Structure 1
């Protein structure tokens, strides 16, 4: 990652980090993030409809070695100000798998990407996948209770990635 490339932690908005939440289904996750992101001025009204439609067409659930995650994202036209929202869901919430859409994964960590530039989105997805490969660190993240400590832990993972 070059010095001028933004990191995951540069996009994470504390007001959009939700730890230890419970959701019945992925649509509830989108409703929840949309409501807060809309209130904070990060997204257009159309964001909710677009992210739900994109998730149906291009599922984002990923089964890692020990944990399920999801990385939903949508078109730049829905985004006013770039952000990444992170949710931890201890009981998991069902997302269709990216690699096997007819199968589901119980996502315990969800990263909702709200980025404006397609190349930035691809770069961030690659960065996120690299971070998600650090199994022990991801397990620690999922149990974190404090937003600021969660963000600091992400920064620590990023520093370890650079070394």
Structure 2
């Protein structure tokens, strides 16, 4: 499956103004829960997983986070793409003692193990494209972000 199969324009947020991870996760959870994509436990479990297995990445000049949780809390698969008005600190995936200020958050709601590996590989490849990440970070259009993700 391609990234496009998991995208829903309602889950692409531009310039979201959140003060911390809790507010960010709450906002994204409410959207997914109201549409029946996730269980009630999703919010708690995404926070727990982020605490245990941080998802902050520092690649080139951009910091990205890819939070996700266990498949049993996801009813319908999705990817939520969020650019933030103000960066939010996330612990680094490879060094929990350090934090990075993240401006792009890609929340994964996946419930099929083979899809998770495939999606992560595609995302890592995309994130390593500095020009594309720069365009996503500065985009003002849902349509443009969708296009950048699927090209």
Q: Using structure 1 for the length normalisation, give the TM-score.
A: 0.89
Contact 1:86 1:112 in 2 (8 A): yes
User: Structure 2, unaligned stretches of length 5 or more?
Assistant: none
Q: Using structure 2 for the length normalisation, give the TM-score.
A: 0.96
Q: How much has 1:91 moved relative to structure 2?
A: 2.4
- After TM superposition, which residue ranges in structure 1, 4 or more long, deviate above 2 angstroms? none
Question: What is the aligned residue count?
Answer: 151
Q: How much has 1:105 moved relative to structure 2?
A: 0.9
Q: How much has 1:117 moved relative to structure 2?
A: 1.2
User: Does structure 1 residue 32 correspond to structure 2 residue 27?
Assistant: yes
- Supply the RMSD in Å over aligned alpha carbons: 1.0
Deviations 1:4-47 (A, max 9, x none): xx111220111111111122111211101000001111111100
User: Does structure 1 residue 134 correspond to structure 2 residue 121?
Assistant: no
Which protein is richer in strand relative to its size?
Answer: 2
User: Structure 1, unaligned stretches of length 5 or more?
Assistant: 1-5, 157-163
User: 1:32-51 alignment to 2 at 5 Å?
Assistant: 32-51=27-46
**Relative CO higher for 1 or 2, CA cutoff 8 Å, sep ≥ 6?**
2
User: Does structure 1 residue 88 correspond to structure 2 residue 83?
Assistant: yes
